[in-house]
């Protein structure tokens, strides 16, 4: 049981570090990277806590995050791509 606690403390500290990076920036990409790290850390934390509670049937949650997390980052990629295209078009006009 105690090893789960040790691991979750490590994950929690990493979450804080990622949050600091997300708040500091400096570039937007750093913030997006921090969001990504935060997402994977949440997956780890949820799985570890499911074991800590002794109810491994709740791993579904972590599975949902593992599958869905990438969509947000890809949406960011498309957002930047669209913005670059819009900027280049408005320069053409």
Query: Which parts of 2-61 interact with other proteins (CB under 8 A)?
Result: 3-23, 25-49, 51-53, 55-61
Q: Residues, the chain, total?
A: 93
Where in 64-83 is the site for other proteins (CB under 8 A)? 64-83
Quote the DSSP letter at residue 27: S
- Compute the least distance from the CB of residue 2 to other proteins, in Å: 9
| 51 within 8 A of 60, measured Cβ to Cβ | no
**Could you tell me how many residues of this chain bind other proteins (CB under 8 A)?**
83
> Alpha-carbon distance 60 to 13, whole Å?
24
- Compute the least distance from the CB of residue 90 to other proteins, in Å: 10
């Amino acid at each position: 049981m105690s090893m789960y606690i040790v691991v979750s403390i490590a994950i929690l500290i990493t979450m804080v570090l990622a949050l600091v990076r997300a708040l500091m920036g400096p570039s937007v990409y750093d913030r997006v990277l921090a969001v990504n790290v935060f997402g994977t850390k949440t997956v780890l934390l949820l799985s570890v806590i499911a074991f800590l509670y002794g109810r491994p049937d709740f791993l579904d949650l972590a599975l949902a995050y593992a599958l869905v997390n990438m969509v947000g980052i890809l949406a960011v990629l498309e957002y930047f791509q669209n913005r670059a295209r819009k900027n280049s078009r408005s320069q053409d006009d």
